A and B are shown apart, each in its own frame.
Chain A
Amino acid sequence: MRHRSLLILTSVLTTGALTLTACGSRDEGKGGGDNAGGTTTVVIGVDAPLTGSLSALGQGIKNSVDLAVKTANKDKVVPGVTFKIEALDDQAVPASGQANATKLVGNKDVLGVVGPLNSGVSQQMQGVFAAANLAQVSPANTNPSLSQGDNWGKGEFKRPFKTYFRTAATDVVQGKFAAQYLFRDAGKKKVFVVDDKQTYGAGLAAIFSAEFKRLGGQVVGTDHVTVKETDFSSTADKVKASGADSVYFGGQYPEGGLLSDQIKKTGAKIPVMGGDGIYDPAFISASAEANDGDLATSIGYPVEKLDTAKKFIADYNAAGYKDPYAAYGGYSYDAGWAIIQAVKAVVDANGGKLPSDARAKVTEALGKVSFDGVTGKVSFDEYGDTTNKQLTVYKVQGGKWIDVKSDTFNQ
């Protein structure tokens, strides 16, 4: 057949082409700050998945930073400086994040960047920012190697990039906290561990498994799922056949919600537990089946219960954003605010003006910021990690996430 080779060639080409199009980025429009009459403009970059399946989280990050910037402008926190945000969409794709990082570095008014959401995306962005001395504060990255180096598991801590900071606690804390809750508080002894092979999910699942086994629990089976796939019925049947009394899922809510749903449909009425990647209303709403009993850990105390967050929530609602602040809103506000505080420190030290090497100075100042933020005390340790190690376990009850245990983690 003459068409045979063309058929094969075109299918190969098209697969490639379609994959590439997934990396295209869309500009969601820039949410600018109010013009407060300042003479100097400082731009805070935002990089997050503003479209695609994780957009619920990404929009929350963007809006919260926007709110921080508007508040700073309104209250004239740094006299003579007007803040603006430039929000770029990475669609949770590492290559897009890297392209966005290059774009942000190219804009000389950008003195700090909040983002990204995904640890895997951050890996590709860190180097670009470090080369330009531009500070990055992630509100959501939880993979330990980003701040403590690739050998953190062996106890060798080495900060790879001095421009990297985060307001989120790492997966070491989160995975261990989850294992301790599941084993001690929930009394589960046989867990089936599933992850999505991504930097975040696989890392979290590994930390969880190690701690669960150390406590005396049993990992009765493991499997992996592919991101964007939707049929996990074979995996669900393996879970049921294994006789596990619980499932731990390292990954994000689109796959997590479907997995939980499909496990329950097999008749195995056991809870699925995950990290902050599944702690989102969309984990419940995306699947109509009841997720009651499913568990998730998330960093910090529930924002709604913190006195320090009352003003943030009121302001956020008053600003009339279309999307909710979601899981990382408070951390994003604090990340943006940390950059604003660092800029303030630099401007104050330079007689009310920005110095010529503002980026390097801001990075340096970030390491020393300390203030009471939405999520509690905000400051960074020698690795750029947050000093705030509060965590909470949430449970799905009646179609909603309810917090069941909040604690400060100590090894």
Chain B
Amino acid sequence: MHELPQQLANGLALGALYGLIAIGYTMVYGIVQLINFAHGEIFMIGGFGALTTYTALPSGTSLLVAIPLMIVGGAIASVAVATAAERFAYRPLRGAPRLAPLITAIGLSIALQQLVWQFYPDAKKAVSFPEFQGESFQITESLQIQRADAFVLALAPLCMLALGLFVSKSRSGRAMQATAQDPDTAKLMGINTDRIIVMAFAIGAAFAAVAAVAYGVDKGQINFEMGFILGLKAFTAAVLGGIGNIYGAMIGGVVLGIAESLSIAYIEEIPGMQQLGGGAWSNVWAFVLLIVVLLVRPQGLLGERVADRA
């Protein structure tokens, strides 16, 4: 069991990444009850936006300088795509039956993937992404944190804190809560709900871009298909934590990440379970966990809709 702290750290870093992406699902769902299945692709586009920014920088730029710029570049790309999607794909369908925007989201997700595949140079396969060089941080003898993991572990709480302050303290944040609670009344109170909805999409997209940069510097590569599985996992994290609840998204992500990591390391050590462990089974266990949580606590770990309680 001496690798337990290490496995927990791996799971935590993976979970923080899921959590960052899950914010986008949960905010949009919390306000317009739409599951934006194109969000995984918004994440992917954030990665390609960041890579484009990096390519545009003079070669030899230190990553310390490059990364903030890459996050900004990635966020510009993903926010632009997300808000355009809201304006042209979802807003016209706002009064339509729920299934219509959902199908649109799926169509949009495929279209975005194909656009990048078709037009981004070399994106037909994995393209390399600048990667953190240097040794990892050795915490104890059996625990080391990779630089990229430290990056995501530091960034995720910061992002969450900023978002929490924004939602609870700022005028726009309160307008957002009001819109989530009752869009019609909010409109009567003089809140521009269209603007609030765009804002929800934009914030989710910016978080996805941060996640994409964290993913890129960790794996050293990105590809046009990466939004699919990660988007699905992040959606799972959002449901697990209680969809609509912004803190739930992060908790859900962390629980999912740790569950995956531990299932790879330990399930096969349980007597009689050798055949059901290892990397091959991690997705099975992650989704078993989701089903169990939904059966026992259908509203998710933290409950739905932070706005109702705020």
Contact between A15 and B35 (Cβ–Cβ < 8 Å)?
no
Residues of A within 8 A of B229 (CB): 228-229
Contact between B226 and A230 (Cβ–Cβ < 8 Å)?
yes
User: When A223-B279, A288-B128 are in contact, do A11 and B235 touch as well, CB less than 8 Å?
Assistant: yes
Write out, one digit per residue, whether chain A residues 190-232 have a CB within 8 A of any chain B CB (1) or not (0): 0000100100000000000000000000000011111011111
User: When A7-B243, A228-B225, A238-B3 are in contact, do A288 and B283 touch as well, CB less than 8 Å?
Assistant: no
Distance between Cα atoms of A225 and B254 in the complex (Å): 21
Q: Identify the stretch in B77-85, B178-186, B196-204, B259-267 within 8 Å (CB) of chain A at 4 or more residues.
A: B259-267
Contact between A14 and B106 (Cβ–Cβ < 8 Å)?
yes
Write out, one digit per residue, whether chain A residues 14-25 have a CB within 8 A of any chain B CB (1) or not (0): 110110011000
Contact between B279 and A286 (Cβ–Cβ < 8 Å)?
no
Residue of A nearest to B228 (CB): A18
Total number of B residues with any Cβ neighbor in A under 8 Å: 54
Q: Does any Cβ of B come within 8 Å of A386's Cβ?
A: no
Contact between B279 and A230 (Cβ–Cβ < 8 Å)?
no
Contact between B125 and A288 (Cβ–Cβ < 8 Å)?
no
Q: Does any Cβ of B come within 8 Å of A267's Cβ?
A: yes
Contact between B220 and A286 (Cβ–Cβ < 8 Å)?
yes
Q: Identify the stretch in B129-137, B153-161, B167-175 within 8 Å (CB) of chain A at 4 or more residues.
A: B129-137
Write out, one digit per residue, whether chain B residues 89-110 have a CB within 8 A of any chain A CB (1) or not (0): 0000000001100100010011
B279's partner among A1, A17, A51, A226 (CB-CB below 8 A) is A226
Contact between B6 and A237 (Cβ–Cβ < 8 Å)?
yes
Contact between A286 and B110 (Cβ–Cβ < 8 Å)?
no
CB distance from B76 to the nearest CB of A (A): 24
Distance between Cα atoms of A248 and B293 in the complex (Å): 37
Q: Identify the stretch in A178-186, A258-266, A305-313, A363-371 within 8 Å (CB) of chain B at 4 or more residues.
A: A258-266
CB distance from B171 to the nearest CB of A (A): 29
CB distance from B183 to the nearest CB of A (A): 15
Contact between B125 and A56 (Cβ–Cβ < 8 Å)?
yes
B128's partner among A21, A194, A222, A285 (CB-CB below 8 A) is A285
Contact between A10 and B102 (Cβ–Cβ < 8 Å)?
yes
Contact between A234 and B298 (Cβ–Cβ < 8 Å)?
no
Contact between A238 and B106 (Cβ–Cβ < 8 Å)?
no
Contact between B2 and A241 (Cβ–Cβ < 8 Å)?
yes
Distance between Cα atoms of A223 and B264 in the complex (Å): 9
Write out, one digit per residue, whether chain B residues 214-254 have a CB within 8 A of any chain A CB (1) or not (0): 01000111010110110010010001000100000000000
Contact between B106 and A234 (Cβ–Cβ < 8 Å)?
no
Q: Does any Cβ of B come within 8 Å of A235's Cβ?
A: yes
Residue of B nearest to A56 (CB): B125
Distance between Cα atoms of A110 and B175 in the complex (Å): 65
A237's partner among B7, B219, B225 (CB-CB below 8 A) is B7
Residues of A within 8 A of B228 (CB): 18, 22, 228
Distance between Cα atoms of A105 and B279 in the complex (Å): 39
B131's partner among A4, A15, A288 (CB-CB below 8 A) is A288
Contact between A234 and B264 (Cβ–Cβ < 8 Å)?
yes
Q: Does any Cβ of B come within 8 Å of A52's Cβ?
A: yes
CB distance from A61 to the nearest CB of B (A): 15
Residues of A within 8 A of B221 (CB): 257-258, 286-288
User: When A224-B279, A228-B225, A254-B126 are in contact, do A11 and B260 touch as well, CB less than 8 Å?
Assistant: no
Write out, one digit per residue, whether chain B residues 126-154 have a CB within 8 A of any chain A CB (1) or not (0): 10111100001000000010100000000
User: When A234-B10, A237-B3 are in contact, do A6 and B98 touch as well, CB less than 8 Å?
Assistant: yes
Distance between Cα atoms of A267 and B124 in the complex (Å): 32
Q: Which residues of B contact A (CB under 8 A)?
A: 2-3, 6-7, 10-11, 13-14, 33, 35, 37, 98-99, 102, 106, 109-110, 117, 124-126, 128-131, 136, 144, 146, 215, 219-221, 223, 225-226, 228-229, 232, 235, 239, 243, 260-261, 264-265, 278-280, 282-283, 294, 298-299, 304
Would you list 21 pairs from A and B whose C-beta atoms are within 8 A, ordered by A residue?
Answer: A1-B298, A1-B304, A3-B98, A6-B98, A10-B35, A52-B125, A52-B225, A224-B279, A226-B283, A230-B215, A233-B14, A235-B279, A237-B7, A238-B265, A240-B3, A257-B221, A267-B136, A286-B221, A287-B128, A288-B220, A289-B131
Q: Which residues of A contact B (CB under 8 A)?
A: 1, 3-4, 6-8, 10-11, 14-15, 17-18, 21-22, 51-56, 194, 197, 222-226, 228-235, 237-238, 240-241, 254, 257-258, 261, 265-267, 282, 285-289
Q: Which 5 A-B pairs have the closest CB atoms?
A: A224-B280, A288-B131, A234-B264, A288-B220, A233-B10
- Apart from the given pairs A55-B124, A225-B279, 12 other A-B contacts in the complex at a CB distance below 8 Å: A1-B298, A11-B235, A194-B279, A223-B278, A226-B279, A226-B280, A230-B215, A233-B261, A237-B3, A237-B10, A258-B221, A286-B128
